Structure 1
């Protein structure tokens, strides 16, 4: 039996920092390019839809491979999957950066590099959630708190992204690609030296038994799990769609460019980050609180997203509306992380949380291209539709997130 001191040593501050570096790096790897997309369009000679595919290709690659990575992490260990994945993300950044630097028509190779980064992201970022659950075992309060830090790191990456992306691009327009590789290297070093995964006493579950148990889990918990998946998809779809629109709108409507644009983009994201941190600290594994938070956040998201299009030509109002949206999404994400991680058995935790991460990546992948297609002719209609979807999702949460049933089954 492990002593309290051993447990404290195992989950050291540096261990938490190392785990938090993964979502930070993976978020920088995607979001940092959003403010750079208009520059890419000019330098590479591509349309706004093509530039949106630079974000989408990363996410699409991750969507399909995340469940595989989740299973492998359940079967062979979290760290064994995370480290090679971060190496792939590093290589992908080098390919995209070198192509942009040396080739006359680099778009295809940029996409290839981004796909490789997405493959790396699939085996790194989603595995952090079950890893936190493994390290803290049955301590729900510490699990919620650590998950809050992880999600805050994710959202802090979104705050830094527009500033760093704009800053790097001001020196060299393709420098953000190389910087992703540099940040990945730092994360590799941290994970290798500071994350000590608990040794398993039992033999890994065989594939047939694993699939049988997974099927049983979805049969018992499927209604609330799919509700959480839909929430994750919706939140990321809205967030990345709005960020893509805001990046384009600031340049074309308000003539705000470069580093200044990065700081303006960071305003709603900073509030998203603060909301994420405060929520994670105060949830403490309480399901009733988690459900209330989900409801409040969906109301805030649905109400604020309606007005994004209508305020697009009034900068201050636009920032107020997107800030409320950021707060709502920022508070929602730790609640979704907590309900997944704390109510699924360890043997299926990696795989189930990977399905949740895939749902989030679907939202990330769909947001920019959908927005590029609708923002010129159907801007207000698209945001009204998003608000209606949020209301529908609110009713689904009321119907299928039943606290008593989840507590009995978990």
Structure 2
């Protein structure tokens, strides 16, 4: 792909995760205002994040299957439109309804979540289709950086919109969807000939074969993405309340403070994508190091919570997330053939959404038991995930099969080691003459 054309294509593709991430991150600075306006509990206000993310996580595998069968753009464009429509429903509910505003807003958020299922994960698969070799790592790093940039901009943007009114954030979604849909449709030319016409049963069997061969690496990678985003959104949810009650920050100042960890994450994601290229072993150890850095930063917050150390620690956690996610994106997309990439990346995206969904309520629950327990328990989760990545992500599993025979070949039988004498000397059955 020519440099100028690839820049336009990447710009169009980057708009998809940028828009998708606004769905949660832009609401975080106005959650206290929503809580006050609708007289909600801390748990009920966290459902505005959770009921966006859970439907997305459930629908994403279906969106991945449809993208493999009918094309990526034919899934992404309608999904973006549904995403914008959910914002209209939530915004109008806040304006027109009174006692029923909260459940109607939740309904709009569910619609947005269903739409979000067909956005960023499918855009990631399409990026994997369009770019190969060293370009793929760089392109996926830019896609993750766009995701991070959305997280940086969205708290500030949400705080600015909140100055108008708390429901202005919902009505902003359809305004930004339109240019992204047009850019994707007219600038991105999807590769032809990589759609598959298998039956659903055959397709699922081929996916099962991928997991037979690479289950340890794929499941560990899925867990790593979920844990990184669970912690990120849990910390942001905690910060939204903490910055007002402890540091007395409101409005744009609060949005700027919320943007600090994701600014470090976005910058690190971009730089990581530039350096990993096809260095498979480096990707593995950056994942391990990134998760370990997240765990170390959270442990430090549990011990020391002075203002400077607090912001240093959340910045380090952002750097750790920026090291982890681009490498996991590249590992997932590079280890799967094009014909199966849509569903596999969508399963990964679904697990990531589940991490986002669980983060706010989990941190909200743990806050009731004290901040040290909240930070140390999530630090332990990051540490355990780093150890699993060190032992279960293997370089040889990161390469995609390149021929139909490799794609459909069953996993080879590997005899399990026996115990006792049989472990020392294999037994061979005698032939007929030996009986």
TM-score tier after normalising by the smaller chain length = over 0.9
> Secondary structure of the residue that 2:300 maps to in structure 1?
coil
> Secondary structure of the residue that 2:301 maps to in structure 1?
coil
Moved more, 115-124 or 377-386: 377-386
C-alpha separation between the residues in 2 aligned to 1:203 and 1:236? 32
Question: How many residues of Structure 1 are paired with residues of Structure 2 in the alignment?
Answer: 401
**Paired residue for 2:62?**
68
- Residue 402 of structure 1 deviates from its aligned partner by 1.5
Unaligned runs of at least 5 residues, structure 1: 1-6
- Residue 201 of structure 1 deviates from its aligned partner by 6.7
Change (3 A) 1:11 1:74: farther
Asked if 1:37 corresponds to 2:31, the answer is yes
> Secondary structure of the residue that 2:18 maps to in structure 1?
helix
- Residue 374 of structure 1 deviates from its aligned partner by 1.6
C-alpha separation between the residues in 2 aligned to 1:278 and 1:406? 21
Residue 295 of structure 1 is aligned with which of 264, 288, 296?
Answer: 288
Asked if 1:330 corresponds to 2:325, the answer is no
**Paired residue for 1:24?**
18
**Paired residue for 1:211?**
204
Change (3 A) 1:190 1:323: same
Residue 116 of structure 1 is aligned with which of 111, 120, 139?
Answer: 111
- Residue 311 of structure 1 deviates from its aligned partner by 4.2
Change (3 A) 1:405 1:349: closer
For 1:131-280, list aligned pairs within 5 A. 131-136=126-131, 139-200=132-193, 204-280=197-273
CA contact (8 A) 1:302 1:387 kept: yes
**Paired residue for 2:92?**
98
- Residue 12 of structure 1 deviates from its aligned partner by 3.2
- Residue 380 of structure 1 deviates from its aligned partner by 1.3
Deviations 1:118-137 (A, max 9, x none): 0000011110111011112x
- Residue 407 of structure 1 deviates from its aligned partner by 4.0
Computing the radius of gyration from Cα coordinates, the structure with the larger value is 2
Moved more, 156-165 or 12-21: 12-21
C-alpha separation between the residues in 2 aligned to 1:271 and 1:202? 38
C-alpha separation between the residues in 2 aligned to 1:248 and 1:274? 25
Deviations 1:61-85 (A, max 9, x none): 1011000000000011000111110
> Secondary structure of the residue that 1:12 maps to in structure 2?
helix
Residue 359 of structure 1 is aligned with which of 323, 345, 351?
Answer: 351
Change (3 A) 1:403 1:140: same
Change (3 A) 1:201 1:81: closer
C-alpha separation between the residues in 1 aligned to 2:400 and 2:46? 44
Deviations 1:16-44 (A, max 9, x none): 11110010001012110001100101111
C-alpha separation between the residues in 2 aligned to 1:78 and 1:408? 20
- Residue 307 of structure 1 deviates from its aligned partner by 2.8
For 1:4-19, list aligned pairs within 5 A. 7-8=1-2, 11-19=5-13
CA contact (8 A) 2:334 2:400 kept: no
